[in-house]
Amino acid sequence: MNTPVTIRKAVKEDALFMAERILWAIGVPDAKDSDAETLSTVCAMKDVLYSYENTLIAEVDGERVGIMISYDGALYSTLRVKTFSNVGDALKCDFSNMADEAKAGEYYLDTLAVSPDMRRKGIGRALLTAALERGRKTGIEKATLLVSPKNPPALRLYSHIGFKPTGMVKAFGHIYLRMERPLQ
């Protein structure tokens, strides 16, 4: 069942909504309001991974129901430093030994999060489609993402859209499947 969804670019005022979705997307089950507030200050910045400038918002009937954060992988190393030095303990991770998730030559789909009560209604697909279109406009030839192998619905969605597994990556203390697909 598809629900009529509107996709728009995020604005600074979406920062707290984004932060809350990022925390549960990366599996921080004991996140506090203060963690979301800390992360929201990062989401309101420019030149960080989780910037509102890198984010699309899905709305249904004027209500925000999902986010998609994506960007040029060539920016990852630089933006990572500013991002992670500003998040404090909000993400509950040690980033010092974490490998880069993205690199030059790929458009990176960083975070996709849809409100639990709105899943399986075409919203994730709409966000992915819009992000892939953004990626096409950059001229980059492939899109990449990480997904938990313990998330069968996400794996099915990404596979159905044409993503193929290319290996495993450790990030945020968890093992993820790395997937990619052509953009052009």
Q: Block means of pLDDT (10 residues each) for the chain, length 184 residues? A: 85 94 74 75 92 96 95 91 67 60 93 89 94 96 94 93 93 86 91
What is the four-CA torsion angle of 150, 154, 155, 160, rounded to 10 degrees? 170
Determine the pLDDT at residue 144: 97
| Total Cβ atoms within 10 A of residue 56 | 21
Is residue 143 packed enough to be buried (19+ CB in 10 Å), middle (13-18) or exposed (0-12)?
A: buried
Q: State how far the Cα of 132 lies from the Cα of 55, in Å rounded to an integer.
A: 12
First to last CA, the chain: 28
